[in-house]
Structure 1
Amino acid sequence: MKVVARFSFPHEAHIAKASLEAAGIESVIADEHTINAQWLYSDAIGGVRLMVTEPDQQEAIAILATDFSTAVEQGTALSDEIRCPHCGDHHYKPFTKGKRPAFVVFLLLGFPLFYYQHGYQCQSCGEFFKSDDE
């Protein structure tokens, strides 16, 4: 087994391992439990190691070096098909209705009393709405 990447935290290694598994490359995470038990040892022992077999080493390094951020941005773009039911505009942003009062009550009482809803807020008229998909 050859080390293809080192990480400070185990969750970072698991994200990279998932990328390799999606490409069909078997991998192993080493020193994960040591770092979970005593995270201050991370730099001392070289961090959490992601290891693959020697034949897969170059392909794994290439996959881990690839920047997928543009694909993520394109994949999460809000659809222009959704329109505000109040004014018909398609300029909106994700919004959580009732989050602030629920948080304040939680701080004061120690338990949530209000509920909140996920949806969208129109940037033109300020109307809160949910999409038809939900």
Structure 2
Amino acid sequence: MEEEKFTLLRRFQYSSEAIIYQGKLESQGIDVFLRDNNIVDSNPLYSNAVGGVKMFVKTEDFDKANEILGDVSLYSVDDENQPLKCPECGAEQVDMEQSIDGVRSFFRVLFLGAFALLFSKYKHKCQNCKFEFE
């Protein structure tokens, strides 16, 4: 019996991201193996220390898996599934993140704890020029 070889496909900051992409690949018939996801789940601050959650696929499936993940947008899209464009520079590398609006958010978290984050707004941030917009 020949030994199977695996190749690192991607690294993720959090296991939740890796699990989403794992599901996409497995739905296409590609076996996926995650490493260090339990360490990161036990304490997300360890993610940088261990190099994130690592996604491996069989070496023979690497090209197909890379092609499948290449079709998945890593950035925000609008209602018509078109990439959002930064109004400042026109780049399509736009992420959505929680809006922390200074003193007001600080006091919300101080008095309500993490529960306050459920009521926070989201904004978009361009990864190219770092411009933030609603």
Q: Structure 1 length as normaliser, TM-score?
A: 0.50
